[in-house]
Chain A
Amino acid sequence: QSALTQPASVSGSPGQSITISCTGTNSDVGAYNYVSWYQQHPGKAPNLIIYDVSNRPSGVSNRFSGSRSGNTASLTISRLQAEDEADYYCSSYTTTRLVFGGGTKLTVL
């Protein structure tokens, strides 16, 4: 099964905004409103930060936002903080299964 395509790494300075892309196909990202994003700190389990393309679960900071254009979904983190340094994964539903992106390491400079 093909993973969704994410950049291996992104970086930004505190206070700046960054965007992580997640490219799929018209069978997954482009077909369903079921893109999710997860944050994972080293040695910890992942944490849901965006679901259904652009919705935030209760308790997640509004500095995190999601969007989609065609077959590419995006996660934007505004007003970067040191605690945002982590790995980020996108996932999408595609006909009876889920597929994850390869993950993006965010470094806060």
Chain B
Amino acid sequence: QVQLVESGGGVVQPGRSLRLSCAASGFTFSNYGMHWVRQAPGKGLEWVAVTSYDGSNKYYGESVKGRFTISRDNSKNTLFLQMNSLRAEDTAVYYCAKGFGGSSGWVAIDHWGQGILVTVSS
């Protein structure tokens, strides 16, 4: 079965950096687009970024563009999110998520990790 396990979260000061990782298993990782989606405490879902199956295309939400970088290592079935210049408003649970594939490509998300909390605070 599909498993997505995030790691690397925690408490970080404003302006600092953090790198999230997501270990994927149970499917052919290199065939699917992969996302990061976040959810601030008590708030709704916010799309963060997506990478195509081969890493050649990457797209970002407006609030993180220029500060966050999504990447993947298909040889290790791992997705990353490098987060720089962190702000208090980046505090959220970050979900690693798998694109549905098929005719939908990456535009629907069919599996989600359990999420990992990132807290930006001094």
A residues neighboring B (CB under 8 Å): 1, 3, 32, 34, 36, 38, 40, 45-48, 51-52, 57, 87, 89, 91, 93, 96-103
Which positions in B face A, CB cutoff 8 Å? 35, 37, 44-47, 50, 59-63, 95, 100, 103-104, 107-110, 112-115
> With A1-B62, A36-B108, A97-B59 as given contacts, are A48 and B47 in contact (CB-CB < 8 Å)?
no
Complex CA gap A87/B44 in Å reads 9
Contacts of A46 in B (CB 8 A): 45, 95, 109, 112
Q: Which residues of B contact A93 (CB under 8 A)?
A: 107
| A102 / chain B contacts, CB cutoff of 8 Å | 44
**Pick the contact of A48 from B44, B50, B63, B108 — CB < 8 Å?**
B108
Contact assessment for A36 and B109 in the assembled complex, using a CB-CB cutoff below 8 Å: yes
Asked if A3 contacts B44 (CB within 8 A), the reply is yes
Closest residue of B by beta carbon distance from A100: B45
Instruction: Give, as a whole number of angstroms, the nearest-CB distance from B39 to chain A.
Output: 9
Contact A98 B100 (CB under 8 A): no
Determine whether the beta carbon of B100 is less than 8 Å from that of A48.
Answer: yes
* CB pair B108 A103 closer than 8 Å: no
From B60, B95, B112, B114, give the contact of A97 (CB < 8 A). B60
Pairs of residues from A and B, 7 with the lowest C-beta to C-beta distance, nearest first: A51-B108, A45-B112, A103-B44, A93-B107, A98-B47, A34-B107, A1-B62
In the bound complex, residues from chain A placing their C-beta under 8 Å from that of B60 are 97
Looking at the assembled complex, report how far the CB atom of A101 sits from the nearest CB atom of chain B, in whole angstroms.
7
| B45 nearest CB neighbor, chain A only | A100
From residue A55, how far is it (CB to closest CB) to chain B in Å?
8
Q: Which chain B residues border A32 with CB–CB below 8 Å?
A: 107
